[in-house]
Amino acid sequence: MFIAGNWKMNGTIEQARTLARQLANQLPTGAPTTALFPPAPHLSAVLAEVAESPIFVGGQDCSPHVQGAHTGDISAGMLADIGARGVIIGHSERRTNHGETDAEIHAKVSAAMRTGIGVILCVGETREQREAGEAEAVVRAQLAAGLPDPLSGNAVTVAYEPVWAIGTGKVATRDDISTMHRMIRAWLRAHQPPLAETFILYGGSVKAANADDVFAADEVGGALVGGASLKADDFLGIITAAMNA
């Protein structure tokens, strides 16, 4: 299992330090792989706090470019250079708020892979797309367009995050998660053999109270957690649920 906390654009540097310290100190022995994705200005502080723990740290986005005149952007190489080991790419908030296209996401995944850091590629349908019966086709298209072909074997984890479940408290049903995750697994086996057995995370309103149910769905290899990753007890509750799954 792999449990990732996406802190999004939340908190002060002191809150980031405190949360990272609490998690580093309280992470249970035998915990699944655990990763934190703080806001960029907090990355170095969080890296320092978890340095002695198995927790790893990543960025929430990266540029498709290596360097140059790209004001406000952060390259994958810069993330790697400060000790980040992963990056989230294609989150629905970036697709929506910044108009990120599948082609840009593809370029970002390629850029991250060239630096050797791990990627969490986010996919997921909107409410309208699900109601129109297009959920699986949308996710298949996002996978096909977002992943470089052929993949060179770096670590890419896929996170299925139905847009309508993010931050809404409406977690997808176990059946819906199972159906989508089985489809993603089959797609990866057919089209990206190096990723045939990679973790497929579920994201969208995961909490300690529903984590058991989420982890019981087919082909769920962990969770990408937003709101519930901002409090140590809540996030540790999800980690404990993963250990018991």
Beta bridge partners of 86: 58, 118
Quick check: 201 binds ligand 13P (CB under 6 A)?
no
Q: How far is the CB of 193 from ligand 13P (least distance, A)?
A: 27
- Residue nearest ligand 13P (C-beta atom): 226
Which of 152, 217, 154 is CA-nearest to residue 184?
A: 217
Residues with a known catalytic role: 91, 161
Footprint (CB under 6 A) of ligand 13P, residues 165-184? 166-167
Q: Which is nearer to ligand 13P, 57 or 77 (CB)?
A: 57
Distance (Å, whole) CA 155 – CA 55: 17
Distance (Å, whole) CA 168 – CA 133: 21
Distance (Å, whole) CA 40 – CA 84: 10
Pair type for strands 33-37 and 56-59: parallel
Q: How far is the CB of 96 from ligand 13P (least distance, A)?
A: 11
Q: How many residues bind ligand 13P (CB under 6 A)?
A: 14
Residue window 215-234: x/- pattern of binding to ligand 13P, with contact defined by CB under 6 A: ---------xxxxx------
Footprint (CB under 6 A) of ligand 13P, residues 52-91? 91
Q: For residue 125, give Cα distances in angstroms to 25, 64, 131, 160, 165.
A: 37, 23, 10, 9, 10
Q: In the complex, which residues of this chain contact ligand 13P (CB under 6 A)?
A: 6, 91, 161, 166-167, 203-206, 224-228
